[in-house]
Homo-oligomer: A and B are copies of this chain.
């Protein structure tokens, strides 16, 4: 399996994010900060920054905004080989507006992501070498929820990658504005037979999958009902829009073991968008890197997510050395230098 061209390919939509600077508001700001985002992009970017080979499967408009998206992807070291270009007059890049919060004002998202180039993606947009080129394939519930077409294409891709021997990673990432819990559950239950690594938060498990019990038993239950190997579940505590704490549990079915560590407390949140995806990135790195393990996955997942909260934009910019420093500081109970010099 080591001989594949990519360690990870992710399938997902690329979105323009427009945000007012500082604590200004969408309705009154004068400029928008411009970022590229998208759950599966965030995952690919993180894994790439940590040193593995990744690529992005997506569909973007053949105009200057598509150029923008491509340039951003390349800058993270992600391959653009599987970007399909939409040259039709309907071509568009989805976008969303994001407003930072400050207690008691919550952060706010306004979506404008319907009828995008991505929603008209076809299997035939991508070359025949696609399925054989990666060790691991990742997507999330967001992609499946975009529309009927994406759901169909996404599910076919999952099956095709599985057939070609790729590990299948899936993050539920439930979004109530894209589909209902019932729709999500029915769709994901069709996918779970193919999934190896499953990301699902406790509350999603309870609300969407109608699971009962504590988080550990819920996690285990997925591995009992489906041939899932690894289940990861995060817990974020929101003290205020500017202060969070974060931790996670990873369950390894093969050894029937739960992995966890001390939470990252009192994170000084600069930009919380993408921190869930950063967790997935860190965890996948922990599993896919040389001598990967669930123990590494929980450490890298937690650290990568905690650190992402301190970085403006959807995407992390932490490389391997950065994140090793974060982990070392987190585990260090003695003297802490105040600064990296």
Give A residues with C-beta under 8 Å from B: 18, 21-34, 63-65, 67-68, 71-72, 74-77, 80, 89-90, 92-93, 95, 97, 99, 101-112, 114-115, 175-177, 236, 238, 240-242, 264, 266-272, 303, 306-307, 309-312, 317, 319, 322, 325-326, 329-330, 336-341
The answer to whether A31 and B28 have CB atoms under 8 Å apart is no
With A and B bound together, what is the CA distance between A80 and B238 in angstroms?
39
Contact among B75, B90, B329 with A71 in the assembled complex (CB-CB below 8 Å): B75
Identify A270's interface contact among B23, B76, B114, CB under 8 A: B23
Query: Which chain B positions have C-beta within 8 A of A90?
Result: 114
Q: Is the CB of A26 within 8 A of B64?
A: yes
Q: In the assembled complex, how far is the CB of residue A267 from the closest CB belonging to chain B, in whole angstroms? A: 6
Q: Which residues of B contact A339 (CB under 8 A)?
A: 101, 106-109
CA distance A52 to B75 in the complex (A): 17
Q: How far is the CB of A206 from chain B (nearest CB, A)?
A: 11
Complex alpha-carbon distance, A330 and B319, angstroms: 40
Whether the Cβ atoms of A307 and B68 lie closer than 8 Å is: no
B104–A306 touching, CB < 8 Å: yes
Partner of A312, one of B24, B97, B108, B114: B24
Q: How far is the CB of A258 from chain B (nearest CB, A)?
A: 23
Least CB distance from A156 to B in Å reads 27
* Chain B residues within an 8 Å CB radius of A63: 110
- Give 23 pairs: A residue, B residue, CB < 8 Å, sorted on A: A18-B32, A21-B31, A22-B312, A23-B311, A24-B312, A26-B67, A30-B33, A65-B97, A65-B110, A65-B112, A67-B319, A74-B76, A92-B114, A102-B267, A102-B309, A103-B310, A104-B264, A104-B306, A104-B326, A105-B326, A106-B325, A108-B341, A177-B341
- Determine whether the beta carbon of B64 is less than 8 Å from that of A106: no
Among A80, A270, A317: residue with most chain B CB under 10 A: A317
Cβ-defined contact, B103 with A268, below 8 A = yes
User: Residue of B at shortest CB range from A23?
Assistant: B270
**Residues of B contacting A112 in the complex (Cβ-Cβ under 8 angstroms):** 65, 92-93
> What 3 pairs across the A-B complex have the smallest Cβ distances?
A75-B75, A102-B310, A26-B64
Take A68-B26, A99-B64 as given contacts and tell me if A175 and B341 are in contact as well, using a CB distance cutoff of 8 Å.
Answer: yes
Complex-state Cα separation, A175 to B329, whole angstroms: 20
Residue of B nearest to A271 (CB): B23
Question: Which residues of B have CB within 8 Å of A64?
Answer: 25-27, 97, 99, 108, 110
Does the CB pair B74–A310 fall under 8 Å? no
Q: With the chains together, A227 CA to B90 CA distance in Å? A: 38
B residues less than 8 Å from A76 (CB atoms): 71, 74
Using CB atoms, name the residue of chain B closest to A337.
Answer: B106
Asked if residues A317 and B25 are in contact (CB atoms below 8 Å), the reply is yes
Contact check, B72 vs A106: say whether CB atoms are below 8 A apart: no
The complex places the Cα of A104 from the Cα of B58 at a distance, in Å, of: 33
